[in-house]
Amino acid sequence: MTTELCAYSVCACLAARRAGVDRAELCASPYEGGTTPSAAAVRMARRVEGLQLSVMIRPRGGDFCYSDDEFSQMLEEVRFVRECGADGVVFGLLTPDGRIDEERTKALVEAAGPMQTTFHRAFDMARDPMEALEAVIGTGCTRILTSGGCNTAEEGIETLRALAVRAAGRIELMAGSGVRPSNVRALAAAGVDALHFSARCMRESRMEYRNPRVSMGGCPGVPEYAVPDADERIIRQILTELNR
């Protein structure tokens, strides 16, 4: 069973390597569900030895129906990540009627060349999971990251089982969202090929003076003095449960 950490920093990639995770998915912007990380972050994460690296290709938060300019940016980002020597890229595109954007997805797969390609949880926003499965298979993607069309993989476990049967080994299926030590074995038993988790925690700021009158992002509920991080202890717990 392949394991992948959703990593929002190079430090998280290092924690993944220390704990024995197979692959990291490097992203930025956790409160938007992940966007393309910076060039420096990609280069530095690539230097982490003993860890496969996939990089999120998502030009913004929000939906997965992209303009021509946004799609051109995604192509440029795929080419850049390929030049950096990453093992894979992660993306997801939908049409306005809630189907897989097969034409553009095929173009990204082609641009990726030898890199692995993951169609991310945009899959879970599609109108029909079985139709979406066949469409993604047709684009040539390596794998699909999915929670079975629900908020968490645990909630979507029956759909995950059905997808695994339908896929019949034609594409890798990776279950993600809400993967914890308490449910990792049940999710692995659903027939998926890989598990994706963030082991997220909040790292408290080192700031002693904190200005309560200013919100830099202007988004209520988003902490100004804590940073999302990966808890290495939880990563190890997940791996321990998985390997029992």
User: 């998926």: which residue's tokens?
Assistant: 192
Give the tokens for residue 68.
């021509």
Cα separation of 124 and 155, whole Å? 12
Say which residues have a Cβ less than 8 Å from residue 76's Cβ, sequence separation at least 6: none
- In the chain, % of residues over pLDDT 70: 100
Over the stretch 178-214, which tens digit does the pLDDT of each residue have?
999 999 999 999 999 999 999 999 999 999 999 888 8
Given a contact cutoff of 8 angstroms between Cβ atoms, the answer to whether 205 and 225 are in contact is: yes
Cα separation of 233 and 179, whole Å? 14
Model confidence at 111, pLDDT cuts 50, 70, 90, reads very high
DSSP single-letter state for residue 241: H
Cα separation of 182 and 98, whole Å? 33
* φ/ψ of residue 116, rounded to 5: -70, 150
Whether the per-residue pLDDT at 220 is higher than 80: the answer is: no
In this prediction, residue 165 carries a pLDDT of 98
Is 0.85 surpassed by the pTM of this model? yes
Cα separation of 215 and 87, whole Å? 37
Cα separation of 106 and 124, whole Å? 19
